[in-house]
Structure 1
Amino acid sequence: MFILVNLKAYPCDPIEVATAARDVAEESGVRIAVSPQAADVSRVADTGVETWAQHVDPNGHGSHTGSTLAEAVAEAGAVGTLINHSEKRLKLADIDGSVQAAERAGLETCVCANNPAQIGAVSALGPDSVAVEPPELIGGDVSVATADPGIVTDAVDAAANVDEDVEVYCGAGISTGDDVVTAEELGASGILLASGVAKADDPRAALEDLVSGL
């Protein structure tokens, strides 16, 4: 299982979370990555933790003020990026462009989608992975794997029907080791979470709990 921790714009210490994630990953053997704000990518990457961007734009070099350039986050130390998170929605053509920009920069890609139908659509764009995240459960206390396990299994099937090489991650409400185990049992190969770690009083303890059943 892959655990991807999105720090969003929460008022947490990205270095504290990154260091905890690095240490728990090394001790448990579980792949863990941290996705900080763009301004923090370089210093998070310097901790040695696997680092992902929260977003890249579909453009290349040029007159694109305010854009997040895939090559820039890669140079800063990111090895992957989220695309089309529920809080940073894109049109399908721009998702395609962002996937291509990320691939051009050598970044691994995870495209987020709300439901299995959208998972099938974005899987056709050739990302490395997709994450199913019902918006109503994001940031809540109930995981999608518990609230509606059919969404996860249907998402896994939808991606496989389009491209068997696209991995499916489970997001929205994931916060405990039991949630991770349930997601794995439903066919997900990773999880995407945020507040369960970023807003935790003890990020290391939260991460240790997440990997406890793996």
Structure 2
Amino acid sequence: MFVLVNLKAYPCDGPAVARAVREVSEESGVRMAVAPQAAQLETIHDTGAETWAQHVSPVEQGSHTGSTLAEAVADAGAVGTLINHSERRLRLADIDGALSAADRADLETVVCANNPAQVGAAAALAPDAVAVEPPELIGGDVSVSTADPGVVKDAVDAATAVDEDVSVFCGAGVSTGSDVAAAGELGAEGVLLASGVAKADDPEAVLWDLVSEI
């Protein structure tokens, strides 16, 4: 199971969260990573935590002011990137372009999708993983793995039908060890979460709870 903590643009202490992620990951043996704002990538990488980007742009080196260049993300210490998060939607052609950019920079990729049908379409582009995240549950207190477990199972089936090598992650509302366990039982190989950790008074305690049933 892979636990990927997206810090979004929350006013949290990113390095403190990253240090907690590193410590819990090392002690539990569970793979965990942090996705901070692009400007904090190097700072988070310096904590020793596995570091991911929240986004890379579908561009090559050149005249692309305001873009997030995959090579720059990798140089800052990121080993992977989210693509097409519900708060940073891309057209299908741009998802494909972002995947190509990530491949150039040797970044691992997770493409986010709203539903099983989109999971299948994303899997056809051959990312490393696809994350199913119904928008209405993002940032809430109810996990998709418990609110609508069929969505997770159908997402796994949709991805497998297209490419058995594409892993499926579960996002939206994940905040407890029970959520993570439920996701795993439904076939997910990872979880994405944000507010459950980034907004917590004690992020380390939340992280330990997340891995408690793995």
Deviation, 1:175, is 0.1
1:51 matched residue in structure 2: 51
Residues in 2 aligned to 1:103 and 1:205: alpha-carbon distance in whole angstroms: 35
2:16 matched residue in structure 1: 16
Deviations 1:141-172 (A, max 9, x none): 00000000000000000000000000000000
Deviation, 1:6, is 0.2
Residues in 1 aligned to 2:166 and 2:40: alpha-carbon distance in whole angstroms: 28
Residues in 2 aligned to 1:107 and 1:203: alpha-carbon distance in whole angstroms: 26
The 5 A counterparts of 1:22-171 are: 22-171=22-171
CA RMSD, Structure 1 to Structure 2 (Å)? 0.3
Percent of aligned positions that are identical: 75
Q: Which runs of 4+ in 1 moved over 3 A?
A: none
Residues in 1 aligned to 2:99 and 2:46: alpha-carbon distance in whole angstroms: 25
Q: Does 1:209 align with 2:175?
A: no
Deviation, 1:181, is 0.3
Deviation, 1:75, is 0.3
Residues in 2 aligned to 1:95 and 1:201: alpha-carbon distance in whole angstroms: 35
TM-score normalized with structure 1 length: 1.00
Residues in 2 aligned to 1:121 and 1:69: alpha-carbon distance in whole angstroms: 24
SS in 2 for 1:18: helix
Residues in 1 aligned to 2:115 and 2:82: alpha-carbon distance in whole angstroms: 17
Gaps of 5+ in 1: none
Gaps of 5+ in 2: none
- Counterpart code for 2:20: A
Residues in 2 aligned to 1:58 and 1:64: alpha-carbon distance in whole angstroms: 10
Deviation, 1:131, is 0.1
